[in-house]
């Protein structure tokens, strides 16, 4: 399921040329990307640590909330996942 979601995101957002400048200006981005990697690996505890640190740095970041949605979805908490997905848009 997670791979399908990530494939859909990639299909909807193929032009990510701005990504490097976004990462440089946002200290939470590397943590969010690290968390997404951990989620795809099934290492949810490690992902949770990354997301908590990212949330301290940028609590309103839409990319963070998308990652939190995936995290909670993979953890089996659909209600929390839905809330974070709503905050991501």
> Residue 51 has what pLDDT?
97
Q: CA torsion, points 85, 78, 1, 20, in degrees to nearest 10? A: 30
pTM reported for the whole predicted model? 0.74
Predicted confidence pLDDT, tens digits, the chain (89 residues) = 566 565 655 655 555 444 444 544 678 999 999 999 999 999 999 999 999 999 999 999 999 999 999 999 999 999 999 999 999 98
pLDDT value at position 26? Answer: 77
CATH 3.40.50.1820 fits 26-88, yes or no: no
Q: Fill in the DSSP letter of residue 1.
A: -
The neighbour count for residue 77, using CB atoms within 10 Å, is 13
pLDDT at res. 27: 83
């Amino acid at each position: 399921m997670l791979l399908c979601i990530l494939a859909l995101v990639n299909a909807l957002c193929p032009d990510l040329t701005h990504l490097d400048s976004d990462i440089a200006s946002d200290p939470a981005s590397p943590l969010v990307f690290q968390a997404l990697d951990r989620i795809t690996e099934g290492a949810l505890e490690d992902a949770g640590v990354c997301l908590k640190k990212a949330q301290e740095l940028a609590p309103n970041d839409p990319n963070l909330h998308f990652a939190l949605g995936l995290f909670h979805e993979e953890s089996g908490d659909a209600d929390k996942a839905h809330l974070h997905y709503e905050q991501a848009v």
